[in-house]
Amino acid sequence: MKPLLDLTKTYAIALEGGGAKGGYEVGVWKALEEMGVRYNAVSGTSVGALNGALMAMRDLPGAIAAWEDIRLDKVIDFDANQEENLRRVVSGEVDFSSFHELIPQAFDVIRKRGLDVAPLRAWVREVVDCKKIKSSDVRLFISTVSLTDRKGLELCVNDLEEDEICDMLLASAYHPTFRLEKLGGKLYADGGFIDSLPLHVLVENGYRDIIAVRIPSRFARERRFKIPDDVNIWYVDTDADLGGVLNFSAEQARRDMTIGYYDAWHDLCGLYGKRYYIERSMTEREALDRILDSYLRRAPGFPLRELCEKELPRMAKGLNVTGGYYELLLALLEVTAEGRELDKLRIYTDREFLAAIRAASPENGEETAADKEPRAETEEEPCALRE
């Protein structure tokens, strides 16, 4: 696969905030390294700031190891008898019937004015090498909110004193549920309150080729500004469930990293598919032939013109397909693949995808929708006029 990006250019990377979902960004980073993408600047908010620090250090193995070993108790200090309920809360497993069990703990958190994140402080100091950031060829920008000064801040971490760096990275990631404590003599709040995806600071500092990594969140707030015409932004994002914002677990982080890795290949290399990762080899004509062959095997004698002009558009609308016959074929195949529980976390060629669907058939290889090899493409009349 060849990236659509111009690999002769050097890029800036923007990393969105998202708490425990941050492993996704490390997966994207891994893919960028394999593609040969060069970068000289990173901006990050919240967990994006922490991942950005690791990118500035150019320590991908360290970032992977850190996320593969992440646990809730490395972020939040809590009593052992609270662990199970706290895990249920942060993973979104609590229903209304369980609320009465959590009321005493909720009051305890309120009484203490938030969750104790001393472990997070220790974790940041463990994984961040401030000397490497200071001497890095990568400029690192972060967003945070100074509650003391009542204003949003965009900071260049390389320009800070070494003993300020970890505090300011924490300041960017200071979630509203955390116990409010001074960092460097001031109170701070999560940078997501002013800019969850810090593109502005990159544009303001002259970067014109940017890769933006989004993390899905209901509470994301992006700073609005006019993006100049000469700025090119490539986005990597996902519709996948990356877990809860405080659901810190190694298992979830590993899955999020894998999703980020494949999403980067999908979005930056032009892969197809909405639920799977598909590398295209078929022509539009081949895709249409497969659809027609499949349909007509099931409804012999169906008027071909009605099929092309009415039935296929109806199918495309029902599947919310935009594009041509190739996109329609993939949408039909993805529905079948999901029903047969094909592995989603891998890259298929379209022909491999067809073969995998056939192999997963309950009939043990019986020809299924669009499995049949298409007729050879010729310069004859369009297939819609054949028969």
**Cβ contacts of 191 within 8 Å, gap of 6 or more:** 17, 45, 46, 49, 142, 143, 144, 145, 152, 171, 172, 173, 198
At 94-148, the pLDDT tens digits run 443 443 443 344 434 434 456 788 889 999 999 999 999 999 999 999 999 999 9
At 183-242, the pLDDT tens digits run 888 999 999 889 999 999 999 999 999 999 999 887 778 889 999 999 999 999 999 999
Q: Which residue has the higher pLDDT, 140 or 297?
A: 140
* Segment holding 151, helix H or strand E: strand 151-156
Report residue 32's pLDDT band, with 50, 70 and 90 as the boundaries: very high
User: What's the pTM?
Assistant: 0.85
Beta strands in 297-360 (DSSP E): 347-349
Residue 245's pLDDT is 84
Q: Could you identify the residue written with the tokens 């010729």? A: 378
What does the alpha-carbon distance between residue 355 and residue 73 come to, in Å, rounded to a whole number? 44
Residue 101's pLDDT is 45
**Cβ contacts of 88 within 8 Å, gap of 6 or more:** 94, 98
What does the alpha-carbon distance between residue 255 and residue 240 come to, in Å, rounded to a whole number? 10
* Segment holding 213, helix H or strand E: strand 209-213
Residue 146's pLDDT is 92
CB count in 10 Å sphere of residue 298 = 8
What does the alpha-carbon distance between residue 66 and residue 60 come to, in Å, rounded to a whole number? 10
At residue 175, φ and ψ (nearest 5 deg) are -60, 145
Find, among 198, 183, 102, the residue nearest to 142 by Cα.
198
Question: Is pLDDT at 88 greater than 60 in this prediction?
Answer: no
For the chain, counts of helices (H) and of strands (E): 15, 9
